[in-house]
Structures are given as C-alpha cells and as structure tokens.
Amino acid sequence: MKCEHYEFRTCPKCGKCYCERSSISREDNETLICPDCGTREALASIGVSKEEQEQILEIIHRNA
Ligand SMILES: [Zn+2]
C-alpha cells in the first residue's frame, strides 16, 4: 500500500492498518480510528444496521 500523505496507523476498532486521514471516534471524541470505522459509527448513530453499514462501505470503496 502506498502512503504519501499520512503515516500508517492501526485502527483500534477493526485492527486494520490505514494511512488515510483518521476519524475521531464518537464514543470518546479522542480515539483515532480508520475512516471506515468513522463511517460505521456515523451510520450506527443514525440507526443503520451492521449489515447495511458494510453494504454502504462496499459502495463507498467501489466509487473511491
Ligand atoms: Zn477501523
């Protein structure tokens, strides 16, 4: 994986290595998590089920 702009971090929520810009967890407003988990938390907060969250992430990745 190429990483030009950000340093590698490991997401504490899903354990994935990522180098995109971090999201801040809504749970404590300080834990840095990967953009996917940021999206998951945002979707969960509006009542989207886990299954739907993964489907939405798949669509986001496909369009990226
Ligand atoms: Zn994550």
Is the residue at 3 inside a domain?
A: no
| Cβ–Cβ < 8 Å for 39, 48 | no
Q: Read off the pLDDT of residues 9-56 as tens digits, 9 standing for 90 and up.
A: 999 999 999 988 899 999 999 999 999 999 999 999 999 999 999 999
Residue 2 has pLDDT above 80, yes or no: no
Instruction: Note whether residue 22 is domain-resident.
Output: yes
- In angstroms, how far is CA 24 from the centroid of its own chain? 9
Note down the domain range covering 34.
Answer: 9-63
For ligand 1, the distance from its centroid to the CA atom of residue 40, given in whole angstroms, is 9
pTM of the model as a whole = 0.83
How far, in Å, is the centroid of ligand 1 from the Cα of 39? Answer: 9
Q: Is 4 inside a domain boundary?
A: no
Quick one: pLDDT at residue 6? Answer: 67
62 Cα to the center of ligand 1, angstroms? 18
Tokens read off for 64: 């990226």
Alpha helices in the chain (DSSP H): 35-45, 50-63
> Which residues are near ligand 1, the ion (C-beta closer than 5 Å)?
11, 13-14, 34, 37
Our count of domains for the chain comes to 1
Give the integer Cα–Cα distance in Å for 37 and 16.
10
Is residue 57 a part of any domain in this protein? yes
Q: Which residues neighbour 8 within 8 Å (Cβ) at sequence distance 6 or greater?
A: 17, 18, 19
